[in-house]
Protein backbone atom coordinates (compact mmCIF):
# COMPACT_ATOMS: atom_id res chain seq x y z
CA UNK A 1 0.00 0.00 0.00
CA UNK A 2 1.31 3.46 -0.85
CA UNK A 3 1.46 6.15 1.81
CA UNK A 4 -2.05 6.99 2.97
CA UNK A 5 -3.49 10.47 2.46
CA UNK A 6 -2.79 13.31 4.87
CA UNK A 7 -6.47 13.27 5.85
CA UNK A 8 -6.20 9.69 7.13
CA UNK A 9 -2.87 10.53 8.70
CA UNK A 10 -4.59 13.27 10.70
CA UNK A 11 -7.61 11.10 11.46
CA UNK A 12 -5.40 8.51 13.18
CA UNK A 13 -3.80 11.18 15.32
CA UNK A 14 -7.14 12.68 16.28
CA UNK A 15 -8.52 9.27 17.18
CA UNK A 16 -5.49 8.56 19.36
CA UNK A 17 -6.05 11.76 21.33
CA UNK A 18 -9.75 10.95 21.60
CA UNK A 19 -8.83 7.56 23.11
CA UNK A 20 -6.78 9.28 25.80
CA UNK A 21 -3.25 9.20 24.44
CA UNK A 22 -1.32 12.37 25.23
CA UNK A 23 0.72 12.37 22.00
CA UNK A 24 1.25 10.25 18.90
CA UNK A 25 3.86 10.14 16.14
CA UNK A 26 4.88 8.00 13.17
CA UNK A 27 8.26 6.63 12.12
CA UNK A 28 9.47 4.53 9.22
CA UNK A 29 10.03 0.90 10.22
CA UNK A 30 13.74 0.42 9.60
CA UNK A 31 16.98 -0.78 11.12
CA UNK A 32 18.00 1.44 14.05
CA UNK A 33 21.61 1.85 12.97
CA UNK A 34 22.19 4.86 15.23
CA UNK A 35 21.13 2.91 18.34
CA UNK A 36 22.80 -0.42 17.60
CA UNK A 37 26.35 0.34 18.77
CA UNK A 38 25.36 2.20 21.99
CA UNK A 39 23.06 -0.68 22.95
CA UNK A 40 25.79 -3.25 22.34
CA UNK A 41 28.29 -1.22 24.39
CA UNK A 42 25.77 -0.91 27.23
CA UNK A 43 25.27 -4.67 27.27
CA UNK A 44 28.98 -5.42 26.96
CA UNK A 45 29.63 -3.29 30.06
CA UNK A 46 26.97 -5.22 31.99
CA UNK A 47 25.05 -2.04 32.72
CA UNK A 48 21.84 -4.08 32.39
CA UNK A 49 22.68 -5.63 35.79
CA UNK A 50 20.49 -8.67 36.52
CA UNK A 51 18.12 -7.99 33.62
CA UNK A 52 19.48 -10.91 31.58
CA UNK A 53 16.53 -10.70 29.20
CA UNK A 54 18.08 -7.54 27.76
CA UNK A 55 20.73 -9.74 26.17
CA UNK A 56 18.10 -11.67 24.21
CA UNK A 57 16.85 -10.89 20.70
CA UNK A 58 19.39 -8.16 20.01
CA UNK A 59 18.64 -8.18 16.26
CA UNK A 60 14.92 -7.72 16.90
CA UNK A 61 15.57 -4.80 19.24
CA UNK A 62 17.23 -2.86 16.45
CA UNK A 63 15.11 -4.07 13.52
CA UNK A 64 11.29 -4.14 13.86
CA UNK A 65 10.86 -5.98 10.56
CA UNK A 66 12.15 -9.05 12.42
CA UNK A 67 9.30 -8.68 14.90
CA UNK A 68 6.53 -7.99 12.39
CA UNK A 69 6.61 -9.33 8.84
CA UNK A 70 5.97 -6.62 6.28
CA UNK A 71 6.36 -3.83 8.84
CA UNK A 72 6.34 -0.38 7.22
CA UNK A 73 5.63 2.00 10.11
CA UNK A 74 6.01 2.30 13.85
CA UNK A 75 3.23 4.27 15.53
CA UNK A 76 4.43 5.56 18.91
CA UNK A 77 2.09 6.88 21.59
CA UNK A 78 2.60 8.58 24.94
CA UNK A 79 0.39 8.73 28.01
CA UNK A 80 1.12 11.38 30.61
CA UNK A 81 1.14 10.02 34.16
CA UNK A 82 1.97 13.18 36.13
CA UNK A 83 -0.20 12.77 39.26
CA UNK A 84 -2.60 15.46 40.42
CA UNK A 85 -1.34 15.10 43.98
CA UNK A 86 1.63 13.44 45.65
CA UNK A 87 1.97 11.39 48.82
CA UNK A 88 0.95 13.48 51.83
CA UNK A 89 3.35 12.27 54.53
CA UNK A 90 6.77 13.75 53.81
CA UNK A 91 8.38 11.02 55.92
CA UNK A 92 6.56 8.11 54.27
CA UNK A 93 8.48 5.72 52.01
CA UNK A 94 8.15 6.95 48.44
CA UNK A 95 6.57 5.31 45.43
CA UNK A 96 7.50 6.15 41.83
CA UNK A 97 4.73 8.23 40.29
CA UNK A 98 4.11 5.84 37.41
CA UNK A 99 2.93 3.22 39.92
CA UNK A 100 0.30 5.37 41.65
CA UNK A 101 -2.58 4.03 39.56
CA UNK A 102 -3.45 1.02 37.43
CA UNK A 103 -0.61 -0.92 35.79
CA UNK A 104 0.22 1.01 32.63
CA UNK A 105 0.78 -2.15 30.59
CA UNK A 106 -2.95 -2.83 30.62
CA UNK A 107 -4.02 0.79 30.17
CA UNK A 108 -1.84 1.41 27.10
CA UNK A 109 -2.41 -2.01 25.52
CA UNK A 110 -6.20 -1.55 25.75
CA UNK A 111 -6.03 1.87 24.12
CA UNK A 112 -3.68 0.62 21.40
CA UNK A 113 -6.10 -2.18 20.60
CA UNK A 114 -8.92 0.32 20.21
CA UNK A 115 -6.75 2.43 17.90
CA UNK A 116 -5.77 -0.66 15.89
CA UNK A 117 -9.43 -1.66 15.52
CA UNK A 118 -10.35 1.86 14.39
CA UNK A 119 -7.67 1.95 11.69
CA UNK A 120 -8.58 -1.51 10.44
CA UNK A 121 -12.29 -0.74 10.28
CA UNK A 122 -12.15 2.83 9.03
CA UNK A 123 -8.93 3.28 7.06
CA UNK A 124 -7.14 0.08 6.08
CA UNK A 125 -9.01 -3.27 6.24
CA UNK A 126 -5.79 -5.16 5.50
CA UNK A 127 -4.10 -3.76 8.57
CA UNK A 128 -1.71 -6.15 10.30
CA UNK A 129 0.73 -5.60 13.12
CA UNK A 130 1.57 -6.03 16.79
CA UNK A 131 1.07 -3.86 19.87
CA UNK A 132 3.75 -3.26 22.49
CA UNK A 133 4.32 -1.40 25.71
CA UNK A 134 7.53 -2.27 27.54
CA UNK A 135 6.69 -5.90 26.88
CA UNK A 136 8.94 -7.09 24.05
CA UNK A 137 12.39 -6.45 22.53
CA UNK A 138 11.45 -2.97 21.32
CA UNK A 139 13.49 0.20 21.93
CA UNK A 140 10.50 2.28 23.03
CA UNK A 141 12.33 5.57 23.60
CA UNK A 142 14.26 5.34 20.34
CA UNK A 143 11.06 4.92 18.34
CA UNK A 144 9.28 7.70 20.19
CA UNK A 145 12.21 10.02 19.49
CA UNK A 146 12.24 9.05 15.79
CA UNK A 147 8.51 9.85 15.69
CA UNK A 148 9.15 13.39 16.94
CA UNK A 149 7.69 12.86 20.41
CA UNK A 150 10.73 14.17 22.24
CA UNK A 151 14.43 13.51 22.69
CA UNK A 152 16.44 11.16 24.90
CA UNK A 153 17.61 13.26 27.83
CA UNK A 154 20.82 12.99 29.81
CA UNK A 155 18.90 10.90 32.36
CA UNK A 156 18.15 8.43 29.51
CA UNK A 157 14.42 9.20 29.66
CA UNK A 158 12.36 10.45 26.74
CA UNK A 159 11.58 14.14 27.27
CA UNK A 160 8.56 15.73 25.58
CA UNK A 161 8.62 19.54 25.44
CA UNK A 162 5.16 19.94 26.97
CA UNK A 163 4.71 16.70 28.92
CA UNK A 164 8.24 16.38 30.29
CA UNK A 165 9.43 12.85 31.02
CA UNK A 166 6.52 11.60 33.12
CA UNK A 167 5.15 9.69 30.16
CA UNK A 168 4.64 6.03 29.33
CA UNK A 169 5.31 4.73 25.83
CA UNK A 170 3.55 2.25 23.58
CA UNK A 171 3.97 1.18 19.95
CA UNK A 172 2.07 -0.32 17.08
CA UNK A 173 4.38 -1.89 14.50
CA UNK A 174 2.29 -2.23 11.39
CA UNK A 175 2.13 -2.83 7.65
CA UNK A 176 0.40 0.52 7.17
CA UNK A 177 2.57 2.93 5.20
CA UNK A 178 2.52 6.25 7.04
CA UNK A 179 4.40 9.43 6.28
CA UNK A 180 6.96 9.68 9.10
CA UNK A 181 7.07 12.62 11.46
CA UNK A 182 10.35 14.47 11.92
CA UNK A 183 12.52 14.06 15.03
CA UNK A 184 13.09 17.16 17.15
CA UNK A 185 16.39 18.50 18.41
CA UNK A 186 17.78 17.51 21.79
CA UNK A 187 17.17 20.36 24.23
CA UNK A 188 19.02 19.51 27.44
CA UNK A 189 21.73 22.02 26.59
CA UNK A 190 24.38 22.37 29.28
CA UNK A 191 22.06 21.23 32.06
CA UNK A 192 23.04 18.16 34.04
CA UNK A 193 20.80 18.52 37.08
CA UNK A 194 19.71 14.89 36.72
CA UNK A 195 23.28 13.61 36.89
CA UNK A 196 24.12 15.80 39.87
CA UNK A 197 20.96 14.67 41.70
CA UNK A 198 21.46 10.91 41.32
CA UNK A 199 22.53 9.78 44.82
CA UNK A 200 24.02 6.42 43.84
CA UNK A 201 25.99 7.49 40.77
CA UNK A 202 23.84 5.38 38.45
CA UNK A 203 23.83 8.30 36.01
CA UNK A 204 27.60 8.37 35.69
CA UNK A 205 27.73 10.48 32.51
CA UNK A 206 25.28 12.18 30.13
CA UNK A 207 23.02 9.56 28.52
CA UNK A 208 24.73 6.76 30.48
CA UNK A 209 22.93 4.67 33.10
CA UNK A 210 24.39 1.80 35.12
CA UNK A 211 21.39 -0.24 36.32
CA UNK A 212 23.60 -1.94 38.92
CA UNK A 213 23.45 1.33 40.88
CA UNK A 214 19.95 2.48 39.93
CA UNK A 215 17.40 2.74 42.75
CA UNK A 216 14.58 1.81 40.37
CA UNK A 217 16.36 -1.37 39.36
CA UNK A 218 17.40 -2.27 42.91
CA UNK A 219 13.89 -1.82 44.34
CA UNK A 220 11.97 -3.51 41.52
CA UNK A 221 13.97 -5.87 39.30
CA UNK A 222 16.73 -6.93 41.72
CA UNK A 223 15.73 -10.12 43.54
CA UNK A 224 18.56 -10.60 46.05
CA UNK A 225 19.43 -8.53 49.09
CA UNK A 226 20.27 -4.93 48.27
CA UNK A 227 24.05 -4.35 48.50
CA UNK A 228 25.15 -2.65 51.71
CA UNK A 229 27.14 -0.07 49.73
CA UNK A 230 23.88 1.77 49.02
CA UNK A 231 22.89 2.22 52.66
CA UNK A 232 21.70 5.77 53.28
CA UNK A 233 21.53 6.63 49.57
CA UNK A 234 17.94 5.69 48.66
CA UNK A 235 16.39 8.92 49.97
CA UNK A 236 13.34 6.98 51.17
CA UNK A 237 12.40 5.44 47.81
CA UNK A 238 10.71 2.08 48.42
CA UNK A 239 9.54 1.29 44.89
CA UNK A 240 11.17 2.91 41.89
CA UNK A 241 12.73 6.35 41.91
CA UNK A 242 11.90 9.75 40.40
CA UNK A 243 14.96 11.69 41.58
CA UNK A 244 16.46 12.35 38.15
CA UNK A 245 13.03 13.34 36.83
CA UNK A 246 12.28 15.64 39.75
CA UNK A 247 15.54 17.44 39.03
CA UNK A 248 14.70 17.98 35.35
CA UNK A 249 13.44 21.49 34.50
CA UNK A 250 11.25 20.07 31.73
CA UNK A 251 9.08 18.46 34.40
CA UNK A 252 8.60 21.48 36.62
CA UNK A 253 5.53 22.71 34.73
CA UNK A 254 4.17 19.37 33.55
CA UNK A 255 0.38 19.26 33.67
CA UNK A 256 -1.40 16.50 35.63
CA UNK A 257 -2.60 13.43 33.77
CA UNK A 258 -6.15 13.26 32.44
CA UNK A 259 -6.12 9.45 32.48
CA UNK A 260 -8.66 8.24 35.07
CA UNK A 261 -7.00 4.80 35.25
CA UNK A 262 -3.95 6.44 36.81
CA UNK A 263 -5.95 7.72 39.77
CA UNK A 264 -4.41 6.05 42.83
CA UNK A 265 -6.27 3.96 45.36
CA UNK A 266 -7.97 6.54 47.63
CA UNK A 267 -5.88 5.44 50.62
CA UNK A 268 -2.53 5.28 48.88
CA UNK A 269 -1.34 8.89 48.96
CA UNK A 270 -2.47 9.21 52.58
CA UNK A 271 -0.36 6.33 53.90
CA UNK A 272 1.90 7.41 56.75
CA UNK A 273 5.39 6.16 57.44
CA UNK A 274 3.93 3.88 60.10
CA UNK A 275 1.28 2.57 57.68
CA UNK A 276 3.96 1.53 55.20
CA UNK A 277 6.16 -0.24 57.72
CA UNK A 278 3.29 -2.06 59.40
CA UNK A 279 1.57 -3.06 56.15
CA UNK A 280 0.25 -6.62 56.08
CA UNK A 281 0.26 -8.80 53.00
CA UNK A 282 -3.52 -8.56 52.88
CA UNK A 283 -3.33 -4.76 52.88
CA UNK A 284 -0.62 -4.88 50.22
CA UNK A 285 -2.89 -6.93 47.95
CA UNK A 286 -5.80 -4.56 48.54
CA UNK A 287 -3.85 -1.39 47.80
CA UNK A 288 -1.89 -2.69 44.83
CA UNK A 289 -4.37 -5.11 43.27
CA UNK A 290 -4.10 -3.51 39.82
CA UNK A 291 -0.80 -1.71 40.31
CA UNK A 292 2.67 -2.21 38.88
CA UNK A 293 3.86 -2.45 42.49
CA UNK A 294 2.78 -6.09 42.40
CA UNK A 295 5.93 -6.71 40.35
CA UNK A 296 8.14 -6.51 43.41
CA UNK A 297 5.68 -8.64 45.47
CA UNK A 298 5.02 -8.21 49.18
CA UNK A 299 8.31 -9.79 50.18
CA UNK A 300 10.21 -7.44 47.88
CA UNK A 301 8.46 -4.36 49.25
CA UNK A 302 9.20 -5.44 52.83
CA UNK A 303 12.85 -5.94 51.86
CA UNK A 304 12.95 -2.40 50.46
CA UNK A 305 11.21 -0.90 53.48
CA UNK A 306 13.64 -2.64 55.79
CA UNK A 307 16.62 -1.40 53.80
CA UNK A 308 15.61 2.27 53.83
CA UNK A 309 14.57 2.14 57.50
CA UNK A 310 17.78 0.62 58.90
- Residues designated as active site: 134
Rg (CA), the chain: 20
d(CA 264, CA 267): 8
CA angle 100, 103, 109 (to 5 degrees): 140
Number of residues in the chain: 310
DSSP characters over 270-304: G--HHHHHT--HHHHHHHTTTSGGGGGHHHHHHHH
φ/ψ of residue 237, rounded to 5: -85, 120
Instruction: Classify 205 in phi/psi space as left (phi over 0), alpha (psi -120 to 50) or beta.
Output: beta
10 Å CB burial of residue 44 (0-12, 13-18, 19+) is exposed
DSSP characters over 160-218: BTTTBT-EEEEEEEES---PPPPP-----TT--HHHHH-TTS-EEETTEE-GGG-HHHH
d(CA 79, CA 276): 28
Question: Which pairing describes strands 203-205 and 167-174: parallel, antiparallel, or unpaired?
Answer: unpaired
d(CA 234, CA 63): 37
Amino acid sequence: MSIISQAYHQAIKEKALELGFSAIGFARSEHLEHDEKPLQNWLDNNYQAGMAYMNNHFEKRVDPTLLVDGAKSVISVLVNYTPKELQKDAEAPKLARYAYGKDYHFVIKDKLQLLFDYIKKTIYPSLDGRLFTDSAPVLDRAWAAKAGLGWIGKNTNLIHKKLGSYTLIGEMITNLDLKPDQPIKEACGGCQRCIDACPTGALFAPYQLDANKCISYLTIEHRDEIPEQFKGQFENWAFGCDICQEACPWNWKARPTKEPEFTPHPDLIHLTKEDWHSMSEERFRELFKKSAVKRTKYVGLKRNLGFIND
